[in-house]
């Protein structure tokens, strides 16, 4: 057999068992706080443990732990789909007004850190479910980054190849190594530190511990699924500024940040992706703030704060709601429409196309323009001063093509299911880019996805998983060539 399914099971088993253990946290919280939900989480935990145990037993038949690229692709795709299916169980069991399709959408939104929600009246929901939504975002944020660093750096997938340029840990490696495990632990440590610091900042800003922790989880995971219908509306300016800082930090490449705080600060400030991301974020924030100041008559502080919050929220793929930017003015609305698919940096918790790809694409465009004038001149696109290999360029072009095709197909299916054109296009883009809010008349930043039918919930939920896993690995798993020798 081309793919060793038992080796895939060997990886999936411990992951699902670990998920069952994590499911005990909201179970204990529900029991201690005497709120609803304990049974639903016990039910999910048992299912996750049983499936994980079966996978582990099947995995013992694998001849070795050395797995191929195909098996890694199948593992990551299967893990995200199975985790979503299982994570939806307590949401479905505990909330009678949410069908399983809506629960699947909610779980997919949490694990992919997209931020869209199919649940209304969040303020009246059991606290255990609100905690579970935040935990899904935490797991999805760190889970993707760790797998991307420890499993996929050797694969020419464009965004994943950035790890080769960021750390010698990933040079010439085709298997798990102690160095990768060390880097994964460092990333997890940094992730937890930012979670604690963000929680403290929100408490200083006036939030109680439960709200502060959940809001911090939404922020550092760049998920944006707040445990309240108001999202970030009504919070103090200090909370807004704190969220801006931690959203931006979390959407920068973790390996570069770790290298910076480990003593190589020059790498942090000289990284091309981070530099362009910072400058672009600043420029867009000032432009939007100017439109609010001159066209909407905001005072200067509010214009700058609200503009920067929303620009960082969209670019980092957090998707928090602070006012409705579709109602401001045509210039601001058009800017946010252009920002919707971009995302933050590769190697972070953010989704979207990523600035690494945009930097490479810009360099490639510049090289081709120069070649048009000087046909015999030898010039290569570069990233951080180093030439970019052909495989990475081809993979980035493939990603762009796949992204456009998937967005068009998803939009077409959504329109066929009854969604209006604007909502269909922007919802497909926002779910593929793991942003959160769409920009249509029914699915704007101030609206939820609760009124969609089951088919649309499943479609957009799958879009989220597809976008979170960078599209190509998932598509490969659905091709015949993937399963052939």
Average pLDDT over residues 37-59: 92
In a domain, 174, yes or no: no
Band the pLDDT of 44: cuts 50, 70, 90: very high
**Could you give the CA distance from residue 441 to residue 307 in angstroms, rounded to a whole number?**
21
Of 347, 380, 367, the residue nearest 273 (C-alpha): 347
- pLDDT higher than 80, residue 169: no
pLDDT at position 144 = 60
Other Cβ atoms closer than 10 A to 336: 22
Query: How would DSSP label each residue in 218-283?
Result: HHHTT----SSTTTTTT--HHHHHHHHHHHHHHTS-HHHHHHHHTT-HHHHHH-HHHHHHHHHHHH
Distance CA 291, CA 175 (A): 51
State which residues form the domain around 444: 385-483
218 falls within a domain: no
Asked if the structure places residue 422 within a domain, the reply is: yes
- How many domains are there within the chain? 1
Q: Which of 208, 156, 151, 204 is nearest to 176 (CA)?
A: 151
Please check whether residue 431 lies inside any domain of the structure: yes
SS3 305: helix
Rounded Cα–Cα distance for residues 116 and 137 (Å): 12
Encode pLDDT of 142-159 as tens digits. Answer: 776 565 554 444 333 333
For the ranges 25-39, 152-166, 204-218, 374-388, the one whose mean pLDDT is highest:
204-218
Asked whether residue 414 is domain-assigned, the answer is: yes
383: β partners: 386
State the pLDDT confidence band at 135, using cuts at 50, 70 and 90. Answer: very high
Q: Which of 246, 242, 235 is nearest to 206 (CA)?
A: 235
Rounded Cα gap, residues 203 and 216, in angstroms:
10
Whether 451 maps to a domain, the answer reads yes
Antiparallel, parallel or unpaired: β 382-383 and 386-387: antiparallel
Section 455-477 average pLDDT: 91
Which residue is it, tokens 């290298």?
Answer: 259
Question: Rounded to 5 degrees, what are φ and ψ at 386?
Answer: -110, 140
d(CA 238, CA 205): 5
Q: Is 363 inside a domain boundary? A: no
pTM of the prediction?
Answer: 0.88
| Rounded Cα–Cα distance for residues 255 and 268 (Å) | 9
Q: What is the mean pLDDT of residues 20-39?
A: 87
Confidence of residue 321 (pLDDT cuts 50, 70, 90): confident
- Rounded CA gap, 282 and 159, in Å? 23
Decide if 454 is inside a domain.
yes
> What's the pLDDT at 81?
93
* CA pair distance 168, 361, nearest whole angstrom: 24
């Amino acid at each position: 057999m081309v793919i060793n399914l038992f080796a895939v099971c060997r990886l999936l088993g411990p992951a699902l068992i670990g998920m069952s253990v994590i499911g005990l946290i909201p179970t204990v919280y529900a029991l201690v706080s005497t709120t609803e939900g304990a049974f639903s989480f016990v039910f999910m935990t048992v299912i996750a443990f049983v499936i994980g145990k079966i996978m582990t037993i099947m995995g013992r038949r694998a001849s070795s732990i050395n797995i191929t690229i195909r098996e890694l692709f199948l593992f990551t795709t299967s893990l995200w789909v199975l985790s979503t299916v299982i994570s939806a169980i307590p949401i479905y069991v505990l909330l009678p007004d949410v069908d399983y399709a809506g629960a699947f959408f909610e779980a997919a939104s949490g694990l992919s850190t997209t931020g869209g929600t199919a649940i209304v009246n969040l303020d009246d929901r059991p606290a255990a479910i609100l905690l579970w939504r935040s935990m899904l975002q935490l797991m999805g944020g760190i889970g993707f980054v760790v797998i991307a660093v420890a499993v996929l750096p050797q694969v020419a997938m464009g965004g994943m190849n950035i790890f080769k340029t960021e750390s010698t840990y990933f040079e010439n490696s085709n298997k798990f190594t102690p160095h990768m495990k060390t880097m994964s632990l460092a990333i997890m440590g940094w992730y937890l530190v930012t979670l604690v610091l963000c929680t403290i900042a929100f408490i200083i800003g006036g939030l109680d511990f439960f709200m502060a922790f959940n809001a911090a989880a939404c922020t550092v995971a760049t998920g944006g699924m707040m445990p309240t219908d108001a999202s970030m509306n009504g919070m103090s300016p200090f909370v807004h500024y704190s969220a801006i800082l931690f959203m931006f930090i979390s959407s920068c490449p973790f390996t570069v940040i770790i290298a910076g705080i480990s003593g190589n600060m020059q790498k942090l400030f000289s990284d091309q992706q981070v530099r362009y991301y910072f400058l672009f974020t600043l420029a867009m924030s000032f432009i939007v703030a100017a439109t609010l100041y001159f066209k909407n008559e905001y005072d200067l502080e509010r214009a700058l704060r609200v503009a920067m919050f929303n620009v960082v929220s969209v670019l980092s793929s957090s998707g928090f709601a602070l006012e409705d930017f579709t109602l401001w003015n045509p210039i601001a609305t058009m800017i946010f429409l252009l920002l919707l698919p971009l995302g933050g940096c590769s190697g972070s918790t953010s989704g979207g196309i990523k600035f690494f790809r945009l930097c490479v694409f810009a360099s490639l465009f510049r090289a081709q323009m120069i070649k048009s004038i000087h046909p015999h001149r030898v010039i290569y696109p570069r990233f951080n001063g180093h030439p970019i290999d052909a495989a990475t360029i081809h993979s980035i072009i493939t990603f762009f093509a796949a992204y456009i095709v998937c967005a068009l197909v998803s939009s077409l299916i959504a329109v066929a299911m009854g969604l209006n054109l604007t909502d269909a296009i922007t919802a497909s883009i926002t779910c593929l880019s793991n942003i959160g809010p769409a920009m249509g008349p029914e699915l704007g930043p101030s609206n939820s996805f609760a009124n969609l039918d089951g088919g649309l919930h499943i479609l957009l939920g799958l879009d989220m998983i597809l976008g979170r896993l960078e599209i190509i690995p998932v598509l490969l798993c659905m091709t015949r060539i993937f399963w052939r020798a």
